[in-house]
Amino acid sequence: MGFGRPRSDSAEVFTFMNMAKKTKEAVKKTIEQTLWDSANELRGNLDAAEYKSVVLGLVFLKYINDCFKVKHDELVAEGDGFEEDPDEYIGDNIFFVPTDARWEKIIQASLTSEIGVVVDAAMEALEKENKQLKGILPKNYARPELDKRRLGNVIDIFENNLHFTGAEARDVLGRVYEYFLGEFAREEGKKGGEFYTPSCVVRTIVEVIQPYKGKIFDPACGSGGMFVQSSKFIERHRGNINKISVYGQELNSNTWRLAQMNLAICGIEANFGDSFGDSFHDDKHPFLKADFVMANPPFNVSKWGGDQLRDDPRWQYGIPPEGNANFAWMQHMLYHLADDGRIGLVLANGSLSSQQGSEGDIRKNIVNADLVEGIIAMPSQLFYNVQIPCCLWFLTKKKAQPGKTLFIDARNMGYMKDRTHRELSCGEETEDHGNDIARIADTFEKFRAGTLEAEKGFSAIATIEDIKEQDFILTPGRYVGIAEVEEDGEPFQDKMERLTSELSDLFAQSHTLEDEIPKQLASIGFTIK
């Protein structure tokens, strides 16, 4: 670029400005984004499920090594020779890392062709030393299709950029893990929903059902997000994490292992059964009665084997149709619910109004049994995997307001986080967008206390008789109505004159731009054809 030239070259100016913009964006990158970009090195010809397991396995390995090293260094400094005693670590809820699994050994091998073998050996050694990790860590790093040069590069980037030390270590890991799970869901598209529920959806469920203490159950637990958010809820409200016990079930073997890694990271002990399995045909917790049941099961599953379960005792409110498992999931959860427990369930909007098969009758029976505490119509574009509108069902066998159901229309809530993805705001992380989740949770609290004043267009309270008049259709819009629009006091004639004048000005500006753009293009040698 010739700085002595009298004219400015538009193309060069554009290039410079673009470079400046990219530089600014690079500076703004979070550590999570940096790590994600590096992890993408591994994509190659691995399928999504394998890629996810490989990357998150490395994150987990780095975390437990960093935590171990802090404690190990403390014991060395004490000088009593206990630094290699596993019992010294168990009391602090730290995994003992045997010599073959230590990060320094992995770093030494990172630039060699043996790195895959070394990582697999590390995972084996960790499982052997820590019984709670048995059978859940990935051990597939030595396979030929995983590029060892790229694997070594990612390990080196993790070494230089990923550090879990101090009191915030677990929080940092949680952020990285949550970010990675979200990005995996985005990349996998439809399949992403099999293991990941957006955190704002999970948090809404948790804030409404309030799992302070007792047994928590998720029969379609994915990566364990419901349990992680429950622990965060307890932490926010100064509760005791030791007063909850966690039970989960997951069909996909890779996701089953992922969930256990996720909870091990958070220090949550959980019972996921002896293996992965189908909740309908291989219930791992047949006698469980949970205080809180939360789930985002697969929407509208048609091939779930309902024809083999027609006499199942779980179908207390009607036999679910073979072509859709939505009400099979709901009744499975009700079957496992304690007498004073609460359910938070994500389902497709069709569950609110469908009359196909026996769905209308089942919904009617559940309403008449006075089990439906509340229904929320959710905004679109919350999920990475599906565009089907969804809703939240809240069920309980012991209502604070017997005979009444709360309806919330939240379809207009949330903000666009990016071009395609919407989120509900949660306050501390989204100050510019308010706190949608708190507003929903407060509405439920007031409803339970009997102090809620319905807000047209947003909330309404309906009796069983009101619902019967709507033919047992539970779409919130039928009950909340349309919000009243405030008059601005400006006379109609004045408003139209003002708006048409503003429109005329905008047209004039557009004509000016139409003349200017060809001139600018001509200055750099281009014409509009």
Pairing between β-strand 214-218 and β-strand 244-248 as defined by DSSP bridges: parallel
pLDDT at 109: 96
Residue 475 in contact with residue 469, Cβ under 8 Å?
A: no
pLDDT at 52: 76
Give the amino acid at 15: T
Q: 333 vs 172, 276, 353, 396, CA distance in Å?
A: 33, 18, 20, 11
Q: How far is it, in rounded angstroms, from Cα 227 to Cα 197?
A: 12
What residue ranges define each of the domains in the chain, with the CATH number in brackets? Answer: 31-187 (1.20.1260.30), 197-480 (3.40.50.150), 490-529 (no CATH)
pLDDT at 387: 66
Residue 372 in contact with residue 396, Cβ under 8 Å?
A: no
| Adjacent-strand bridge partners of 459 | 408
pLDDT at 452: 97
CB atoms < 10 A from the CB of 75, how many?
16
pLDDT at 196: 66
pLDDT at 17: 38
Global pTM? 0.75
Low-confidence ranges of the chain (pLDDT < 50): 1-28, 190-195
Q: How far is it, in rounded angstroms, from Cα 168 to Cα 234?
A: 17
Q: How far is it, in rounded angstroms, from Cα 265 to Cα 227?
A: 12
Q: How far is it, in rounded angstroms, from Cα 17 to Cα 395?
A: 55
> What tokens appear for 299 in the block?
């929407």
pLDDT at 164: 83
- Cα end-to-end distance, the chain, whole Å: 30
Beta strands (DSSP E) in 357-420 are: 372-377, 390-396, 404-409, 415-416
pLDDT at 189: 55
Residue 279 in contact with residue 228, Cβ under 8 Å?
A: no
